[in-house]
Every structure is written in C-alpha cells, then in structure tokens.
Amino acid sequence: MLNALWILIFFSLFALTQMALFLRVGLNGVRIARSFTKERLFEGESLQMIELIENRRFLPLPWLRLESRMPASFLFSQSENLEIEGLRYHHSVFFLGPWRRVRRAHELKAARRGHYQLVSVSITVGDLLGIKSVTVSLPMQASVTVYPRLLPRERLSLPASRWQGEALVRRFIQPDPFLYNGIRAYQPGDAPRDIHWRAYARTGELKVKQRDYSAASKLLLLLNIAPAELLWGEIGSEAHERLEEAIRTAASLCVYALGDGLDVGLGSNADLTQFDGQTLFLPPSSGPQQRERLLEALARLRLRRAANFHAYLQSLPPLAGCDILVLSAYSSPLIERELERLRGNGNTADFYPFPG
C-alpha cells in the first residue's frame, strides 16, 4: 500500500514537472517553414507543399500539430484535410527527438486558377502525457499563382480577322503602301504624304491615312466579364464555369498570338484580387515578360464586374493600329457604338461571343 502511494506521488510530481517544463519552454528552439515547389503553374498541374520542422533543443517534442487553412481548389492526393464551407483545413502531426529535423512533402493538384497565399499556420505542441498544450499562430509567406488552362488551337473557333491568317504564320514588319485602314487624327511625326486633305476640308481638323499591314502587328483582347447587360457586382455561380472557359480562351489567344510574333494586350471590366474595383488594361507588347503579365492578370481576375462594358470601352486610352477582339456573352447598341468609334480611330474590332 505504501509503495503504491509513493508511486502515485512520484508519478504526480513527474507529470506536474514535465508539464511545467514544456509550458515554460514552449516552442523555443523550434523552427517551422512551409513552401511550395512551384510559384506559378497552370490549372490541373501538380505541385508539392513542403513542411520543414526542426527541433534545436535537448527536449523532445512528444507531439506537434500544424494546421492551416488552404484553398478548396487545392486537391491533396491523400485524405489529409477537412473541407468546411468551401475551405480546406490541412493538418500534420509530428514527433521530434532532440536536435532532429523532419521534412515532409504533400502532393496536391491546383484545380482552379487564382492567386493563393498561405499567410499563417497554427502550431500546437503538448507535453509527454497530453495534459497541457500550447497553441500559437505564426505568419507564413508562401504564395502560388495558378494560370488559366490553355485550350488547344483547334478549339478556338475565331471570327475571320487579319491576324488570324497570315499573322499566325509570319506577319509583315513594314506597312503595306497600298492598303489603308481608315483615317485617324494627325500626330506629330506623321508623314505629310499621309495627310487626308479631303477629310481636312470636310472637318477642319488634320487627319492622316492609317496605313494597314498585310497582318496587323498588335492584338488587343477585351473580355467582358458580365454574362448579361443588367448585372452588377458579384456574378451568380451558375455562370462561373462559362466565364472560366472564356478566361481560358483569352489566355490561350494571348499565349498563341505572342508565340506567333504579335504584340498582345489585354483588358477587362472585371477587377483584380489586389485592386478592388479597378479594371484591367495591359497595352499591347511582346516578349516573355508580357506573357507572364498577361497570365498573371488573368489568374487574378475576379468574377465580379467593376464597370459596364460600354463604359469600360469609353475609358480606354487612345488606340490606333490594333486588331481588337471582344470576348463577350452579349452585345448591345451601346457596345456597338463604342466599337464603331474604335474602328474610326484606325483599329479593327471583331466580336467573339461566348455562351452567356
């Protein structure tokens, strides 16, 4: 009986001592890092989330649990997460001896485009007997940008336009002296031989002939994010997949046209995740950096209209010499009026409808 009492006392003292020790030490000497093997990828591609845990002290870690909120579009290869109201709560449990380090890799697939950030992780560490635990939240800096999936060329049934034919093979660099594409306002540096004297006599303003290319060298894609005219703000979930397909179409056109040697620009009346209420406009340019800018912008587009599309067209900076392709679920007299204005400034404008 006496021996049992001493055992009970010893055990109680041991439990209280180790609990006090673990509470006092807490997470001192513990280093935790999370990262992704890819910062940028396309929809449907896979990546790894890497967890690195280090115990730089003489005390072991009987158990340590990491918990973090993950995007629901990140699909883990194993059942390591819990989904609640569209969010995924991922957790990992570790045991670490003194002066040990553990590296764990989790396979996952990015199912949806977007820009995702892992900003914090919740860490819980407990004592040997599980009597007491300490939980803290630590900031994390890890981000992933998921680009829209590219569609095969044969799926892009485009309207006939000048850049669709010859430009996809090789465009001419110099303007065609025998081909004109309307007139535009005179700009300093325009050749006197291009002045349209009849238009000057009629309007009293200097106008010049807009020389055309055998295939235009600049393409501007304009995406109308609204599936219907009388709509504002957030878009109903029933239209999301159709709009995602339109965004994939825009991404595919941008990448293929850049690869074929054109300068490509992009605009949309949707707003971006980091600029609430601000619409998108990237002027035509070329090169690998422009490709990254275009895909990054499309990844960050929110399915939320920031402006009426005809008002967005009115707000565009002066454009000349562009092939403009409008991706929209609908047209309207106001939109057609703005497209005619753009054509009158020396651009072409084609309408590419997608299901609304």
DSSP annotation string for 221-236: EEE---SSSS--EEPP
Residues 227 and 287 both lie in one domain: yes
Residues 165 and 191 both lie in one domain: no
Backbone angles phi, psi at 74, to 5 degrees: -90, 110
Global pTM reads 0.74
Range of the domain at 298: 153-176+215-353
- The pLDDT-based confidence of 52 (bands split at 50, 70, 90) is confident
User: For residue 166, how far is the Cα from the chain centroid?
Assistant: 31
The predicted pLDDT at position 65 comes to: 81
Q: Specify whether the CB–CB gap between 118 and 68 falls below 8 A.
A: yes
In a domain, 161, yes or no: yes
Centre a 10 Å sphere on the Cβ of residue 324 and count the other Cβ atoms it contains: 24
From the list 148, 145, 150, 182, the residue with the least C-alpha distance to 257 is 150
Cα angle, residue 42 at apex, residues 267 and 102 outer, rounded to 5°: 135
CA neighbours closer than 13 Å in the CB half-sphere of residue 277: 0
Q: Specify whether the CB–CB gap between 169 and 63 falls below 8 A.
A: no
Better-scored residue on pLDDT, 34 or 12 = 34
- Domain of 127, CATH number, reads 2.60.40.10
CA neighbours closer than 13 Å in the CB half-sphere of residue 301: 33
Distance of alpha carbon 125 from alpha carbon 24, whole angstroms:
12
CA neighbours closer than 13 Å in the CB half-sphere of residue 155: 12
Rounded to the nearest 5 percent, the helix, strand and coil shares of the chain are 25, 40, 35
**For 31-43, what is each residue's pLDDT tens digit?**
888 889 999 999 9
The count of structural domains within the chain is 3
Distance of alpha carbon 7 from alpha carbon 38, whole angstroms:
55
| 287 sits in which H/E element | none
Residues 235 and 298 both lie in one domain: yes
Strand locations in the chain, DSSP E? 30-36, 40-42, 46-55, 61-71, 74-76, 81-84, 87-96, 100-110, 114-126, 133-147, 180-185, 207-211, 218-223, 233-234, 263-268, 270-272, 280-285, 301-305, 323-328, 348-353
pLDDT averaged over every residue in the chain: 79
In a domain, 142, yes or no: yes
Cα angle, residue 338 at apex, residues 298 and 245 outer, rounded to 5°: 30
In a domain, 243, yes or no: yes
Distance of alpha carbon 252 from alpha carbon 155, whole angstroms:
10
| 39 sits in which H/E element | none
* DSSP-derived pairing of the beta strands 263-268 and 280-285: antiparallel
Distance of alpha carbon 35 from alpha carbon 143, whole angstroms:
8
Residues 172 and 295 both lie in one domain: yes
Residues 90 and 190 both lie in one domain: no
pLDDT of 103 over the 70 cut: yes
User: Which amino acid, residue 151?
Assistant: L
In a domain, 223, yes or no: yes
User: What dihedral angle (degrees, nearest 10) is formed by the CA atoms of 16, 18, 23, 26?
Assistant: -170
Max mean pLDDT among 23-32, 51-60, 96-105, 320-329 falls in: 320-329
Average pLDDT of span 124-150: 78
- The pLDDT-based confidence of 99 (bands split at 50, 70, 90) is confident
In a domain, 22, yes or no: no
Residues 192 and 336 both lie in one domain: no
Average pLDDT of span 179-193: 69
Centre a 10 Å sphere on the Cβ of residue 244 and count the other Cβ atoms it contains: 17
From the list 87, 113, 75, the residue with the least C-alpha distance to 241 is 113
Q: Which of 46-55, 224-233, 306-315 has the lowest mean pLDDT?
A: 224-233
Q: Which of 32-36, 140-144, 229-233 has the lowest mean pLDDT?
A: 229-233
